[in-house]
Structure 1
Amino acid sequence: MTAGTRGIVVGTDGSPGAAEAVRWAAAVASQRKLDLVIAHGLEVVVRLYGRGVATREVFELAQQAAEGIVAEARRVALSVDSELEVSTETVPESAAAVLVGLSRTARMVVLGASGVGALGGVVVGSAVPTVVSQAHCPVAVVRERDGTVPAKGPVVVGVDGSPNSEQAVGLAFEEASFRGAPLVAVHAWSDVTYEYVHGTAQFLPPWDYIEPEQQRLLAQRLAGRQERHPDVEVRRRLVRSNPRDALLEESEQAQLVVVGSRGRGGFKGLLLGSTSQALVRRARCPVLVVRPEPA
């Protein structure tokens, strides 16, 4: 991917989970007419070879394994769209470093939730927390439901009114429009769990008093986006539970959950940043984490 391009980057380690991530990323790139970059890191064997621990034969074997991994990933991508522009990157760095570096010129970085890589490969799944917290573009973590990656259902977005959440809402509308799917906008009024409020619940305002104002604020946050995407059916959901539980519940029926990586915003009590890591570990569908970008 040349400097200045905005394509899709996907990490692979040769595992079944990584293959699903490649397939998902290829479909996104094909639909949006973008190029696809398949990346693989070789940090472990390169470091061992440099320290004299691994022999040259082991290093060459690792390189051959890496070439086979990216070649198979390329085949998987082209099976989705034979005309897709696909390039590969095999870099002597960790998977996290490779993906964070490539994220500087990417539209999106995609990786599987877990995986056991071949010889010399750094397991891509282990890179998820680092990439989600350091990437320069949105990061999609492809999670399965009952052994398959869901392709039907709504796009779900967590809304909290922060600048990062505003970016997540905008991207969620785009994803819903591309996919021809409805958008479920979830605002959880409080991120305070029962354990935290036990014994003090009597001091919380009545829900009947809170709900109308929160509904109004949620509608305001979505209004401008709805005007730009009139094709997207929007469903608003205001819940009393914390955002983690609400979005995990929505992931049971969704094809994608979109969330900001951090930010306590204009709606009282909601902290999406404490939720994004739980989603990439436990959601039942792919999760798109939107990194903060300059206004």
Structure 2
Amino acid sequence: MADQPPKTGRIVVGVDGSDVAKRALRWGVHYAGLTGGVVTAVTAWDFPAMHGARWMPPSSSDAAALEERSRRRLTEAVAEVQGAPGPVEIEAEVRYGTPARVLLDASEGASLLVVGSRGLGGVSGLLLGSVAQHCVQRAECPVVVIRGDG
């Protein structure tokens, strides 16, 4: 794969509002500036896992609230990283589904997928979170994993 040119100049970056996701977005924007690419910042929303016999399906207002919270988190992260609009175009997408599946779908045809090593969920002791691990193993484009520590 190293000897193949990128398919497009589209760089997909997973953003969940965590500090490492913002670092991944900064890296993606910097890389896009060097290569003339466009950044697609993507966040996923899904219904929280519920256990038990009394679980009721979520209402459409619950879905709208979850999607809006994700959209706000993404908008804030893009604004923080980008500051004033610069030379790199950043498209923001909010998609329904599990984070790993959403990122893999969004990265189809992209030249690069950028993710943080660990996001908001999971076990803090892991070196690589489940979403990053899933993307590294299954993406059809190169994946850059940005570490969370300095």
Cα distance between partner residues in 2 of 1:284 and 1:166: 23
More contact order relative to length (CA 8 Å, sep ≥ 6): 2
Quote the residue 2:145 is aligned against: 289
Greater Rg by CA: 1
The structure that is helix-richer by fraction is: 1
Quote the residue 2:124 is aligned against: none
Q: Shift in Å at residue 198 of structure 1?
A: 10
TM-score if structure 1 supplies the norm length?
0.43
Quote the residue 2:104 is aligned against: 248
Contact 2:45/2:70 (CA < 8 Å) preserved in 1?
yes
Indicate the SS of the match to 1:206: helix
**CA gap 1:183/1:165 in 2 versus in 1, 3 angstroms:** same
RMSD, matched Cα: 2.7
Q: Shift in Å at residue 177 of structure 1?
A: 1.2
> Among 58, 66, 72, which residue is 1:210 paired with?
66
> Among 77, 92, 98, which residue is 1:221 paired with?
77
Cα distance between partner residues in 2 of 1:156 and 1:198: 36
> Among 209, 229, 234, which residue is 2:90 paired with?
234
Quote the residue 1:172 is aligned against: 28
Q: Which runs of 5+ in 1 are unaligned?
A: 1-16, 24-147, 266-271
Aligned length: 142
Letter in 2 for 1:202: P
**CA gap 1:172/1:279 in 2 versus in 1, 3 angstroms:** same
Q: Shift in Å at residue 211 of structure 1?
A: 2.6
Letter in 2 for 1:165: A
Q: Confirm whether residue 258 of structure 1 aligns to residue 114 of structure 2.
A: yes
Deviation readout 1:146-179 (Å, 9 max, x if unpaired): xx45341410100111121121111111111112
Contact 2:13/2:25 (CA < 8 Å) preserved in 1?
yes
Cα distance between partner residues in 2 of 1:228 and 1:155: 20
Contact 1:256/1:286 (CA < 8 Å) preserved in 2?
yes
Cα distance between partner residues in 2 of 1:191 and 1:232: 33
